[in-house]
Amino acid sequence: MTGGRLGGVDAEREAQLLFRVIDTISAGLDLGRMLQGVATLVTETTVTDVCFVHLLDEKGRVLRLHGATPPFDGLVGKIELAVGEGVSGWVAEHGEPVVITDDKTADPRYRYIPALRGEEFTSMLSVPIVTPLGHLVGVLNVHTRARREFTGADVELLRSVAGLVAGAIENARLHRRLAEREEALESFAERIVQWQERESRRLAGEIHDGISQRIVSLFFHLSAAADAITADPAVAAEQVARAQELAAAALDETRSAIAGLRPPVLDDLGLAASLESLGHSFPGLDVRIEADDLAMAGHVETAVYRTAQEALQNAAKHAAAESVLIRLSRHAGRAVLEVSDDGTGFDPGAVQHQAGATMPPTGLGLAGMRERAELLGGTLELTSAPGRGTTVRLAVPFTPRRSPGPGPALPGTPGWPARRQR
Ligand SMILES: Nc1ncnc2c1ncn2[C@@H]1O[C@H](COP(=O)(O)OP(=O)(O)OP(=O)(O)O)[C@@H](O)[C@H]1O
Ligand SMILES: [Mg+2]
């Protein structure tokens, strides 16, 4: 160790700097305050004038200023550099430190950013912030007003600081991601409960208003038939015929109430053939299906089927489309459904805006499709523009069906007559 360290920092001060950095990063501060603290420590201990900490964004394309010593602390969050841009961008791209002793502007890597007042500083040292596993998370820079030679040992010291900070940054990010996931799970759980309540209300409504009314009338017609059976067989026969009609209607309504939970056609035909059959139920549309036979868990198949159904209904209702292509395949652990129409298209942004303001949370239409996708941990993308048709793309985690063969029978529906294709 020689006197050539940052401003003559000796081994003891060096160790002290590292200890204080460790103290700062383990103080449980949020990421911003921790980086601010580290930047201040670095300038104080290394006798440099300013320190900047730029962090790489999650996509690894942009460096954003996350920590800076006064008077630049007000710029935190406001300075961005693309990877490859300026000295910091170069350091991020190459993963190597850069020392510039003077005349920065002559260095082709240097980019002047007025807010950072580069003209007031002469020498600089920039090091990559890299985790022990070699994962780049940002760039740490120090600048001095007076001209200064940064030695190899100076570079190493700053790299050690950067290494300590890197682990802390990664931990903070992991922690934030975990907290976000926890929040998302909570809101999923809440929405599942709301969804279930809505479904129960819908079923109760359908049973109360439709099915039980029919059964009451059925009862009266059968009583009338029983009363008339000896005195007036013709009236009795008529009442029985009415009762038969009512029984058929009640059966139909029961089926459609249950179809709201899981379309029976899925159990009868499987998903790919159900999509075919769905396509045929829109006589005005030329529907082409390219569906792989994916044997998935019942709830995933229901979501895919319902999404295709709503997208087709929208194509028929709103798009004045002539043809629709439905594709279902498996990609990278996801089941992907695409429904593309050649209709008028629309501006999804405008609809979403309206929808948020006016649509009740009934789970219908686009909002319902999105909700289903989110409940399954998937995504729903809408690509549409006026005059250019619409594509609805649902991607959900592929969940295989547990046992081979058709999906499980619906509870309470054993021995029901097989549903016919309509
Ligand atoms: N394929 C499409 N082509 C053109 N416009 C569409 C298409 N899909 C949706 N839209 C537009 O988006 C709006 C919202 O669609 P959404 O499915 O949410 O509701 P809806 O179809 O009007 O009613 P619901 O689905 O509840 O019966 C539609 O009213 C329509 O203007
Ligand atoms: Mg709709």
364 lines ligand 1 (CB under 6 A): yes
Could you tell me which residues come within 8 angstroms of residue 11 by beta carbon, excluding any fewer than 6 positions away?
Answer: 1
Higher pLDDT, 329 or 419: 329
pLDDT score, position 401: 86
Lowest-pLDDT range, 158-162, 264-268, 278-282? Answer: 264-268
Measured from the CB, is residue 365 less than 6 Å from ligand 1? Answer: yes
Residue 324 Cβ contacting ligand 1 at under 6 Å: no
pLDDT of res. 364:
62
Strand, coil or helix: what is 63? Answer: strand
- Asked if 139 contacts 127 with a C-beta cutoff of 8 angstroms, the reply is yes
Find tokens 């048709």 and name the residue: 389
Please compute the mean of the pLDDT values over residues 400-408 and round it to a whole number: 61
- Which of 44, 78, 50 lies closest to 64 in space, CA to CA? 78
**pLDDT at residue 185 greater than cutoff 50:** yes
Task: Average the pLDDT over 22-29 and give the result.
Answer: 84
| pLDDT tens profile 223-260 | 999 999 999 999 999 999 999 999 998 888 888 777 77
Least confident of 55-59, 209-213, 297-301: 209-213
Indicate if the pLDDT at residue 363 is higher than 70.
no
- In this prediction, residue 50 carries a pLDDT of 97
Characterize 237-275 residue by residue with b for buried, 16 or more Cβ atoms within 10 angstroms of its Cβ, and e for exposed: eebbebbeebeebbeebbeebbeeebbbbbbbbbbbbbb
On whether the CB atoms of residues 74 and 107 are closer than 8 A, the answer is no
Is the CB of residue 10 less than 8 Å from the CB of residue 1?
yes
Give the Å distance between the CA of 328 and the centre of ligand 2: 20
| 186-204 per-position pLDDT tens digit | 887 787 788 888 888 888 8
Q: What is the pLDDT of residues 111-153, one digit of tens each?
A: 999 999 999 999 999 999 999 889 999 999 999 999 999 999 8
Ligand 1 binding pocket includes 385 (Cβ within 6 Å) = no
Which residues are close to ligand 2, an ion, with C-beta < 5 A?
314, 365
Pocket test for ligand 1, best of 287, 306, 318, 324 (most atoms within 8 A of CB): 318
Check pLDDT > 60 for residue 46.
yes
Q: What residue owns the CA closest to ligand 1's atom 13?
A: 351
